[in-house]
């Protein structure tokens, strides 16, 4: 890594929020605070490149912070998104969000650990829900938040020695950040 690449990565690390270890059920270098900070940084970069509104950015960044806090291990846990959303609720992390916004964040966290297939149908189902805590007033917004979260999370696959597959990403800008993902991981491992 060149000096300028390291300096750029270090500048972004300074923008990472504090992530309390006590949020996590499972303390891990794979899915713990450092991973969460990197996903948050990737989300910040994507939001900046895509020019999203502050209101939508807040939802993505909350989802990035809470997406893995309910994990119980480091293996494949398809349901960990649901467990993480529940944990965020138990910890009161979404208490400052309006109910409609909390539902968007919850949806993104739940679905981030599942295949893309079925997300649109699930969002449409939640748009019709009678349960106000789960109801998605804006299913399209929830899907946008989900896709950005999934891309930010995918960028940190470099920690596993994998290069994210650009064909699996949802935004063209995400593929452009793959080299930065390696630089960030080297800086914030």
User: What domains are there in the chain, each with its CATH number?
Assistant: 3-187 (1.10.3210)
SS3 6: helix
End-to-end CA distance of the chain: 14
∠ at Cα 172 (106, 65), nearest 5°? 30
Pick the closest to residue 80 from 135, 42, 144, 24 (CA basis): 24
Per-residue pLDDT of the chain (189 residues; tens, 9 = 90+): 788 888 989 999 999 999 999 999 988 889 999 999 999 999 999 999 999 999 999 999 999 999 999 999 898 888 899 999 999 999 999 999 999 999 999 999 999 999 999 999 999 999 999 988 789 999 999 999 999 999 999 999 999 999 999 999 999 999 999 999 999 999 998
pTM of the prediction? 0.95
DSSP 8-class letter at 90: H
Supply the pLDDT for residue 117. Answer: 95
DSSP 8-class letter at 18: P
**Distance set, CA 113 to CA 14, 77, 117, 138, 174 (Å):** 27, 8, 12, 21, 18
- Position of tokens 């965020």? 88
Burial label for 58, CB within 10 Å (0-12, 13-18, 19+), is middle
């Amino acid at each position: 890594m060149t000096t300028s690449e390291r300096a750029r990565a270090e500048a972004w690390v300074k923008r990472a929020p504090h992530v309390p270890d006590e949020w996590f059920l499972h303390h891990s270098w794979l899915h713990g605070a450092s991973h969460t900070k990197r996903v948050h940084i990737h989300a910040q970069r994507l939001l900046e490149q895509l020019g999203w509104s502050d209101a939508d950015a807040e939802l993505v960044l909350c989802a990035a912070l809470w997406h893995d806090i309910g994990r119980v291990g480091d293996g494949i846990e398809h349901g960990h998104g649901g467990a993480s959303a529940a944990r965020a609720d138990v910890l009161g992390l979404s208490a400052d969000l309006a109910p409609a916004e909390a539902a968007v964040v919850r949806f993104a966290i739940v679905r981030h650990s599942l295949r893309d297939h079925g997300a649109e149908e699930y969002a449409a189902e939640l748009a019709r829900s009678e349960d106000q805590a789960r109801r998605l007033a804006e299913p399209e917004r929830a899907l946008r938040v989900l896709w950005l979260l999934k891309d930010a999370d995918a960028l940190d696959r470099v920690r596993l020695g994998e290069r994210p597959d650009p064909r699996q990403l949802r935004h063209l800008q995400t593929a452009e950040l793959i080299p930065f993902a390696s630089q960030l991981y080297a800086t914030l491992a």
